[in-house]
Structure 1
Amino acid sequence: MIKPSEFHLRGGRSGVLLIHGLTGTPTEMRFVGNGLHRAGFSVLGMQLAGHCGDDADLLATGWRDWYASVVEAAQRLREEVDHLFVAGLSMGAILALELAIDRPHDVDGLGLYGTTFFHDGWATPPIGRLAFLLPLLTSLGLGRRKVSAEVEPYGIKDERIRNRVVGAMLSGDSQAAGLAGFPWPSLAEFQRLSRRVRRRLGRVRAPCFVAHSSNDDVASLRNVRAIQRGIGAPVETLLLDDSYHMVTVDRERGKLVEHSATFFRRIAEQRQPMPASIPRLATVAE
């Protein structure tokens, strides 16, 4: 069943599952979804477990819950298409990689937008750069009530778009713009997921389209190099020079849609449809 914040646009027999980032919302993937739908794809903009509510809703979940919701959404879309592509923003890109590792026969290709293994962009506050320590700190019971606030420029270079998104976020409209901060326990879960995927990048077999800002305020190009060096599958890279981290909503979102559609269409034309094998109930190995 589709959730209130999700969008499902039925189109052709190639489908794209879109995954938003931590504390985000399907709205941040809506422009890309509309563009891919116009290009002939079926699109599902999913909602991660615990998101589009308040801090308590998010804190009641962890990365395994987020991933389980990805598997469930992939199953829904996979049942109606011949080719399944999965694209995510920031943490959503890492969840897309996890699905490709876990279900290699079901994912035909990946779109990795602003992938964030390392919080090391030029506007990242000190606690963000020390995020790798959060799993240890929270396991010791430290920082469980702390929240790292979003900071300027909020991942968006275009001031008009930024003002609209930030206004909705600060007004408390979490369904439209997500939360205004990152609870430390959730960031710790993000780090656990990131480490898990980084260790297993060599198992990715799906071709990858990597789109990243060359001036990303949240995640530097070190993240792109990690993908290029770690993945054995073909990697196509697009560096965007007039955007910040939120490439799906910023100035070059049209270019992102165009390149994504071309990449996915090329793969679909080259591959025979595969029978779906994603189980209805996801199980995540420890």
Structure 2
Amino acid sequence: MPLLPGCEPVRHDGSADTGVLISHGFTGSPQSVRPWAQYLADRGLTVSVPLLPGHGTRWEDLQITGWQDWYAAVDHEVHALRRRCRQVFVAGLSMGGTLALRLAAKHGDAISGVAVVNPAMTFPRLQGYGLPVGRYLVRSTRGITSDIRKEGPREIGYTRVPLHAAHSLRALLRLVSGELPQVTQPLLVLHSRVDHVVPPGDSALVLGSVSSTDVTETVLERSYHVATLDHDAERIFADSYAFITRLAEEDGT
């Protein structure tokens, strides 16, 4: 199935010292974080943004994938970056932030730091109750892309959410919520004051559950969920770059 224009993965070979994996979110694509990746690449970092399985084509393709597939894709990229770079950082938007936190929990000291934007940690309770049975009765529901305050930018993503994949997302969120105490790396959490997709309490859950001692929280006042394409995008890019370079310098780079 051909990719939707703009959904191509991003790979930039830069510094052999510092590599960054950035993951997009559920039903989205690398397009939503491409400017972030480009900002870091322009400053000499090695950057990878994989296209998660089932994404970037049509929503029916997402229906036959699950969280294990999405996690395997980012895990593969982390291993590739570790072969290429001395230090590896992980980052992500929404479910991409969830995946980044799981990578940190599982890879330990092999990950030098984590930067997440509006990380997803909980599934809406009412919708979640009906998913185990409802996914066999109804194939999809309305999409959740383009929650952007700024006029003009649009997020490329699916207009429908396949319920089998949503059920798998729910399982992933529960799993990673329980793994947060295993996250010990320096952590940067950027979250929007107003978010119509992920409740702000999800970021509070991350901040209150991780074991990291080097933690920075940034509240984004002028953006909605897809903040990487919104008014606060440049702040996200600059803050994450400063976070990464500070840690790299502390490590002697």
- Is the structural similarity TM-score above 0.5? yes
Q: Where in structure 2 are there 5+ consecutive unaligned residues?
A: none
Q: Which residue of 2 aligns with 1:100?
A: 104
Q: Which moved more, 1:20-29 or 1:212-221?
A: 212-221
Q: Which residue of 2 aligns with 1:242?
A: 222
Q: Which residue of 2 aligns with 1:228?
A: 207
Q: Aligned equivalents of 2:138 and 2:109: distance in 1?
A: 38
Q: Is this contact kept in 2: 1:149–1:180, CA < 8 A?
A: yes
Per-residue CA deviations over 1:210-261 (Å, capped at 9, x if unaligned) read: 0110111212221111011100103211111010000111111011000000
Quick one: which of 1, 8, 25 aligns to 1:21?
A: 25
**Highest RCO, 1 vs 2 (Cα 8 Å, sep ≥ 6):** 1
SS at match of 2:90: strand
Q: Is this contact kept in 2: 1:131–1:188, CA < 8 A?
A: no
SS at match of 2:44: coil
Q: Which residue of 2 aligns with 1:31?
A: 35
RMSD across aligned positions (CA): 1.9
Equivalent residue letter for 1:49: P
Equivalent residue letter for 1:211: L
Q: Aligned equivalents of 1:196 and 1:272: distance in 2?
A: 35
Residue 237 to residue 143, structure 1, CA distance change in 2 (3 Å): farther
Q: Which residue of 2 aligns with 1:193?
A: 172
- 2:158 is aligned with 1:155: no
- 2:251 is aligned with 1:253: no
Q: Is this contact kept in 2: 1:135–1:191, CA < 8 A?
A: no
Equivalent residue letter for 2:70: W
Quick one: which of 61, 64, 72 aligns to 2:65?
A: 61
Q: Which residue of 2 aligns with 1:269?
A: 249
- 2:164 is aligned with 1:146: no
Give the number of equivalent residue pairs: 246
Q: Aligned equivalents of 1:265 and 1:78: distance in 2?
A: 17
Counterpart mapping for 1:37-48 below 5 A: 37-48=41-52
Deviation at 1:148, TM superposition (A): 2.7
Equivalent residue letter for 1:214: R
Equivalent residue letter for 1:257: F
Equivalent residue letter for 1:205: T
Equivalent residue letter for 1:156: I
SS at match of 1:200: helix
Quick one: which of 183, 200, 223 aligns to 1:204?
A: 183
Q: Aligned equivalents of 2:142 and 2:106: distance in 1?
A: 31
Q: Is this contact kept in 1: 2:10–2:30, CA < 8 A?
A: yes
TM-score of the pair, normalised by structure 2: 0.91
SS at match of 1:265: helix
TM-score of the pair, normalised by structure 1: 0.81
